[in-house]
């Protein structure tokens, strides 16, 4: 399986669609009677004045989510190959994203984090381009706008604003106007939201939007034992990837090294921002799947023992399908 996707051939698009369906068949055969889809945060509900939470049937909800994942996988693959981050063209980033986006059943339905992954991919296109940009002010302003729009959809996305400043540190010399313009880009969207609040006589409630930022980081989270079991192969692959990256780090191009540093920080930011949710949802960690997919692809592209890496991926693939059939 891994060797097939190591090659950059159009036929892999077909096999990617097959695997996408295979990773969702267990959930489709026992899909719940109702699936809620929350597209925006409660404080931005004024922007969507219609009832949409149950607009799609459960089966259609899962199918639409799969279509979005497929589109995102191709975009990620295009991004990685365009910037030659792995050193050679391959379909492994798409394969890894499709696999990781099927890891848990909450990942298989329409959700705000899934929508925000389009914004994160868009951000990555712009963030990586900062490396060779002569004047980054317009790009940084756009990035602030994107983070603000993502915050309206899913509030923990606000922490990805830090990735803009981190990218400026990694890719560029310090220029205070670029740092300030990012703030202006973010503030632009919320200025217009404040105007909408004012026109609806709700301006005193506007400051309540930021209250979750003062929440205490939780001491523990409650997840099921099957979640821990699925994370075992994921953690093993991540550890192997970081060892492989360490071995080849200084052999890579400067832009590649800096981009992997940025992806690592994005992975940490998306993983640790879950606590802003009013209630813990596994779907939050869909935001982690984009940087994780790139790390996974790097390991599987440069792993040398075929029997080991093929077995490791097969174990992950089978575990995902098995727990889908045995979760309910």
pTM value is 0.91
Q: If pLDDT is split at 50, 70 and 90, which confidence band does 2 have?
A: confident
Q: Is there a contact between 240 and 299 (Cβ–Cβ < 8 Å)? A: yes
pLDDT in tens, 149-199: 999 999 899 999 999 999 999 988 888 888 999 999 999 999 998 888 888
Q: How far apart are CA 84 and CA 313, in angstroms?
A: 23
Provide the mean pLDDT of the chain.
85
Spatial CA neighbour of 141 closest among 125, 118, 164, 122: 164
Residue 293 confidence (pLDDT) = 94
pLDDT score, position 226: 65
Question: How far from each other are the two terminal CA atoms of the chain, in whole angstroms?
Answer: 29
Q: How many CB atoms lie within 10 A of CB 269?
A: 20
- Which band of pLDDT confidence, cut at 50, 70 and 90, is reported for residue 320? confident
Say what the pLDDT of residue 328 is: 45
Give the pLDDT mean for 73-95: 91
Place of tokens 């295009």: 78
pLDDT of 114 over the 70 cut? yes
CA quadruple 181, 182, 183, 187: dihedral sign: positive
| pLDDT, position 217 | 64
pLDDT classification of 9: cutoffs 50, 70, 90: confident
Q: Of the given ranges (24-28, 118-122, 262-266), which has the lowest mean pLDDT?
A: 24-28
**Structure token digits, residue 192:** 């217009």
| For the chain, percent of residues with pLDDT exceeding 70 | 92
Contact 280, 190 (CB under 8 A): no
pLDDT digits (tens, 9 = 90+) for 257-308: 888 999 999 999 999 888 777 677 788 889 999 999 999 999 898 888 888 8
Once rounded to an integer, what is the mean pLDDT over residues 82-101? 91
Return the ∠ at Cα 20 (arms to 16 and 24), rounded to 5°. 165
3-class DSSP state of 234: helix
Cα distances (angstroms) measured from residue 192 to each of 44, 47, 185, 198: 11, 11, 12, 10
Q: What is the pLDDT of residue 252?
A: 67
């Amino acid at each position: 399986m891994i060797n097939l996707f190591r090659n950059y051939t159009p036929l892999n698009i077909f096999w990617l669609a097959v695997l996408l369906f295979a990773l969702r068949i267990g959930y489709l055969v026992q899909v719940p009677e109702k699936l809620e889809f929350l597209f925006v945060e409660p404080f931005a509900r004024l922007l969507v004045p219609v009832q949409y939470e149950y607009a799609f049937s459960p089966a259609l909800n899962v199918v639409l989510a799969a279509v979005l994942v497929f589109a995102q996988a191709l975009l990620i693959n295009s991004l990685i190959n365009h910037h030659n981050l792995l050193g050679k063209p391959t379909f492994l980033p798409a394969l890894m994203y499709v696999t990781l986006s099927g890891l848990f059943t909450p990942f298989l339905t329409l959700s705000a984090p899934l929508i925000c992954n389009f914004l994160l991919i868009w951000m990555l296109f712009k963030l990586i381009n900062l490396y060779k940009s002569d004047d980054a002010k317009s790009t940084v302003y756009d990035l602030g706008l994107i983070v603000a729009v993502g915050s309206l959809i899913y509030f923990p996305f606000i922490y990805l604003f830090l990735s803009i400043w981190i990218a400026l540190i990694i890719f560029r010399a310090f220029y205070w106007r670029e740092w300030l313009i990012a703030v202006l880009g973010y503030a632009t969207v919320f200025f217009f939201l404040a105007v909408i609040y004012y026109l609806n006589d709700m301006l005193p409630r506007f400051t309540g939007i930021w209250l979750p930022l003062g929440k205490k980081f939780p001491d523990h989270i409650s997840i099921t034992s099957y979640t821990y079991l699925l994370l075992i192969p994921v953690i093993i692959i991540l550890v192997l990837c970081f060892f492989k990256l360490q071995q080849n780090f200084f052999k890579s191009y400067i832009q590649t090294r800096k981009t992997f540093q940025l992806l690592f920080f994005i992975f940490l930011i998306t993983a640790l921002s879950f606590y802003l949710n009013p209630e813990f949802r596994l779907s939050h960690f869909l935001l982690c799947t984009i940087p994780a997919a790139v790390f996974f692809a790097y390991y599987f592209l440069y792993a040398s023992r075929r029997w080991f890496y093929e077995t490791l991926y097969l174990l992950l693939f089978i575990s995902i399908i098995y727990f889908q059939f045995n979760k309910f």
